[in-house]
Amino acid sequence: MKVSKKAGHRFGTHRVIAPPGAMPQNAWKLDDTPVPFANEILCDVDALNLDSASFAQIRACCSDDEHKIAEHILATVRERGKQHNAVTGSGGMFVGRVREIGEDLRSGIDLREGDAIASLVSLTLTPLRLDAVAGVQIASGHVSVRGTAILFESASWSKLPADIDPGVALAVLDVAGAPAQIDKLARPDMTVVVIGADGKSGMLACAKARARLGASGKIVGVAPRVGSEPARLLAAEGLVDIFVEADARDTLSLFEKVSAAAPELADLVINCVNVDGTELGSILCAKDSGTVYFFSMNTSFTAAALGAEGFGKEVTMLIGNGYTKDHAAIALQTLRDNPALAAYFNKHYALARPAERLS
């Protein structure tokens, strides 16, 4: 018979090893012991999906060598009891199966042992233990692993849908906050600028913005290459009206190109890039009294606040909260509603295709 420990704190503070008084997200080290407290869920982990900013940084420091990437991830998790990138401050998500549900949670949630599950909280606050990294998909950020993870009572999660490949579901759920927030922010007749339109979150943002705007309004996509596969797909499907080829870090160039495409500037700017230094360009692309939604984990909110002040721009700036009500369902439905987008995600993110195996 499985015996759980007593209940821990619902926010997981009982798992914090160092420093004293920290929360799991900003802690340096967590207790990753794979025995659930009475209000925790223990999962066997099959794959990690590192967030775009974190994986780009790891790729760069490891020179795109999957063996070095694997060792880097293993070293981080062994040292800290979680996957928390010390440079970007971000993590990602996992998929796996429920091994054990703490006794205090067994009657209160729609979840059973053996269910396939995706975490909807960051790996930066998830106690994680890895036995091995079995494969790395350089192009997608998927990392096949063998290990365990703990979900706290307060943690969000989602059963994996039967009609969507688990790798695709993980890729979508990792950025679920973007389309869900845009569902609230975008309205007909708006001009919407999506910076980083060619990434996972950017593509879903464009699709949700089009659904909200309908035939009215205008969607301007910004990408480093307008001839890239995702940019061509978005244009062909009518999910972007105008594409602007620009480096979002080049503030004045970005502003000039976007203002040429949309002289009135944007009611809503959505920043989905995975590099830093794009705050000022995002702010300049918004009209006075517009909204800038920083979904990017590379955002410096100091730079954004002081930049807006320096420009004399009165804009509402929103932090890219990874959680909003029903965000998992909204993001997955956005994919279902766009067959061409679903085909692209299946091509690039499905776990069913062979992973790059590490010997």
pLDDT in tens, 36-83: 999 999 999 999 999 888 999 999 999 999 999 999 999 999 999 999
Q: Identify whether residues 112 and 169 lie together within a single domain.
A: yes
Closest by CA to 211, choosing from 244, 182, 232, 172, is 182
In this structure, the answer to whether residues 164 and 19 fall within a common structural domain is yes
CATH number at residue 275: 3.40.50.720
Distant-in-sequence, close-in-space partners of 73: CB < 8 Å, separation ≥ 6: 48, 50, 58, 83, 130, 133, 143
320 vs 344, higher pLDDT: 344
The enclosing H or E element of 97 equals strand 92-101
User: What residues have CB less than 8 Å from 342, skipping those under 6 apart?
Assistant: 168, 335, 336
Q: What is the pLDDT of residues 203-231, one digit of tens each?
A: 999 999 999 999 889 999 999 999 999 99
266 and 185 fall within a common domain:
yes
Q: What is the reported pLDDT for 4?
A: 57
Q: What per-residue confidence (pLDDT) applies to 3?
A: 52
Sequence-distant (6+) residues with CB within 8 A of 306 are none
If one counts the domains in the chain, the total is 2
Last-in-domain residue among 144, 174, 204? 174
Sign of CA dihedral 191, 197, 201, 204: positive
Neighbouring C-beta atoms of residue 262, cutoff 10 Å = 21
Give residue-wise pLDDT tens across range 138-195.
988 889 999 999 999 999 999 999 999 988 998 899 899 999 999 999 999 999 999 9
CATH number at residue 35: 3.90.180
In sequence order, what are the beta bridge partners of 147? 45, 130
Reading phi first (left if > 0) and then psi (alpha if -120 to 50, else beta), residue 355 is in beta
Residue 188 located in a structural domain: yes
Position 161 in a domain: yes
Q: Please name the helix (run of DSSP H) or strand (run of DSSP E) that holds residue 144, with its range, or none.
A: strand 142-151
Helical (H) or strand (E) element with 260: helix 251-261
Residue 334 domain flag: no
344 in a structural domain: no
Shortest CA distance to 218 belongs to which of 252, 244, 250? Answer: 244
Q: Final residue of a domain: which of 124, 148, 174?
A: 174
Q: Which of 157, 154, 155, 34 is nearest to 95 (CA)?
A: 157
Residue 345 counted as domain residue = no
Nearest one of 24, 4, 46, 43 to 150, comparing CA atoms: 43
Does residue 44 share a domain with residue 135? yes
Query: pTM here?
Result: 0.86
Q: Are 148 and 45 in contact (CB under 8 A)?
A: yes
Distance of CA 133 to the CA centre of its chain: 21
Q: Of 202 and 321, which is predicted with more confidence? A: 202
Under 8 Å CB-to-CB from 327, ≥6 apart: which residues? 120, 176, 177, 179, 180, 181
Q: Which residues contact 252 (CB under 8 A, 6 or more apart)?
A: none
d(C-alpha 193, C-alpha 307), whole Å: 19
**Is the pLDDT score of 353 beyond 80?**
no
- 168 and 24 in a single domain? The answer is yes
- 183 and 170 inside one domain: no
135 and 218 in a common domain: no
Specify whether the CB–CB gap between 270 and 318 falls below 8 A: no
Judged against a pLDDT cut of 80, whether residue 288 lies above it is answered with: yes
What range does the domain containing 32 cover? 13-174
Q: Which of 147, 174, 201 is the last residue of a domain?
A: 174
